[in-house]
Amino acid sequence: MGKIIVGKKSDMPPGSMQKVAIDGRDILVANIDGNYYACDDTCTHAGASLAEGTLEGGIITCGWHGAKFNCTTGKLEKFPAKIRDLKSYQIVVESDSVFVEV
């Protein structure tokens, strides 16, 4: 499909997460120490929006039941049950604009 603009770097400071809807899919974009990462926003446990959780050291913690995902890879880091990893996406930054490749 190509690259879709998701926002301006200046609107996404380090430590922030933002949910964007692209083609009917919710994608989370996070700024970790000045580097941008994108993965699915929908928790694979019960469907919470991960953008409403917390981000610390590259780990997103789901606000509903505490599943932890690595924001840079989409991999599940910690949860008592076996649930799927998140799909991750490539980010492209051009001047002040942040794009996700889908």
Residues at the contact surface with ligand FES, assessed by CB under 6 A: 43, 45-48, 62, 64-67
For residue 51, report the phi and psi dihedrals to the nearest 5 degrees: -65, -20
For ligand FES, the closer CB: 24 or 47: 47
For ligand FES, the closer CB: 4 or 59: 59
Q: Alpha carbon 60 to chain centroid distance?
A: 8
Q: What pairs with residue 92 in β-bridges?
A: 99
Q: How far is the CB of 86 from ligand FES (least distance, A)?
A: 11
For residue 22, report the phi and psi dihedrals to the nearest 5 degrees: -130, 115
For ligand FES, the closer CB: 13 or 47: 47
Q: How far is the CB of 88 from ligand FES (least distance, A)?
A: 17
Q: How far is the CB of 64 from ligand FES (least distance, A)?
A: 4
Catalogue the long-range contacts made by 63-66 (C-beta closer than 8 Å, 24 or more residues apart): none
Helix (H, G, I), strand (E, B) or coil at 66: coil
